[in-house]
Amino acid sequence: MTRALITGVFGQDGSYLAELLSANGYEVHGVARADLSSHGRALRAHLAGKGVVPVLHDCDLEDAAAVGALVAAVEPDECYHLAAIHYSSEVLPAQQAELDRALFQQNVLSTLNLLSAIRQHSPRTRVVLAGSCLMYDASASSPQNESMPYRSRSLYGLSKIAGCNLVDYFRAEHGLHASTAVLYNHESPRRRSAFVTRKIVQGLVAVRRGRSEQLGLGNLDTVKDWGYAPDYVEGLWRMARSDCPASYLLATGVPHTVEDFVREAADTLGYQDFREVVRVEGGLARGQGSVTLVGDPTRARTQLGWRSTVTFREMIERMVEHELAGTLD
């Protein structure tokens, strides 16, 4: 039986990946904090209801000895490093400096510890690191592809660039089968409510049910490349199984604005004009950066046989449908 280790197993991507691997006969191990968030607990219960119960390990990924012991005990055939600290629009200015330090330290050190442990204890393990489109958010042009240099104006993006550089180093210098998945925005009913897409869906459903009069939003002109999370998780799996470890960009290649997202969600709920229930204000959607983040997935399509299968409209319809039903997927 193929054995997989997933860090961040009860996040959006980790939960879909655990489900996918279990359906394909894997023995799934997951790293999860003992003090799971309410969202993480809900995803854990949701998976259990589907018969997906990963073998859990409470491991401090910043502790090299603990990570080494974990890898030596599990000896996974595949390792997916999805755990990371993300920025949130809800962070207070007084908390920013502390978050910056914790974010960079955890995101980079956890990657170094995992790669070092795999090199020492389980060098046959195939590793996939979850990267981010924010690794390109200071790029000179759009769309982005794997031949372009990484440039970021955020510490989160810089932490992901450092992780990708570590993956490249361990692959080139130590022969590890290690890949980076440069993940563009991907959503689902399992997305946490801290993300703007879930806030939009939750807010519009609340208006439809009479619990709120309007949904307040910020910059509606912000452009994203949005896909469906289960599609992207399949891309991670294809990377681990490929004979060509590398960096692969997973994206739809199609730009949409926040306004597009709101319009489609409102239309799904029966509103002819989203302006009936939306007011524009500051503070929810981030402003557009210096470059439009849209990805060119040609390498993933040609080398992995991967493509995004769920359309923008279908993704939003699924999110709205499950928000109305009060279910995760």
User: What is the reported pLDDT for 98?
Assistant: 83
What confidence score (pLDDT) does residue 87 get?
Answer: 65
Q: What is the pLDDT of residue 285?
A: 46
Same domain, 233 and 278: no
Low-confidence ranges of the chain (pLDDT < 50): 89, 284-285
Same domain, 299 and 218: no
Answer yes or no: do 240 and 182 share one domain.
yes
pLDDT tens per residue across span 7-24: 999 999 999 999 999 999
Q: Do residues 34 and 68 both lie within one domain? A: yes
| C-alpha to C-alpha distance for 28 and 31, rounded to whole angstroms | 10
**65 and 178 together in one domain:** yes
Which residue, chain included where needed, has tokens 């607990």? Answer: 41
Q: Which CATH number belongs to the domain containing residue 113 in this structure?
A: 3.40.50.720
Could you tell me the pTM of the whole model? 0.95
Q: Are residues 39 and 175 in the same domain?
A: yes
Specify whether 86 is located in the same domain as 115: yes
| Same-domain status, 152 and 9 | yes
Alpha-helical runs (H) found in 28-154: 38-49, 64-74, 93-121
Count of domains for the chain: 2
Place of tokens 């009060």: 326
Amino acid occupying residue 24: N
Please give the residue range of the domain that contains residue 218.
196-222+255-292+318-325
Question: Do 58 and 167 belong together in one domain?
Answer: yes
Q: In terms of domains, do 113 and 204 share one?
A: no
Nearest to 230 by CA among 182, 181, 189: 189
**How far is it, in rounded angstroms, from Cα 140 to Cα 33?**
38
* Residue range 43-67, pLDDT digits in tens: 999 999 999 999 999 999 999 999 9
Kindly tell me the sign of the dihedral angle through the C-alpha atoms of 146, 148, 149, 152.
negative
State the CATH number of the domain containing residue 267: 3.90.25.10
Give yes or no: residues 22 and 152 share one domain: yes
Q: Give the chain's radius of gyration (CA, Å).
A: 19
Do 215 and 78 sit in the same domain of this protein?
Answer: no
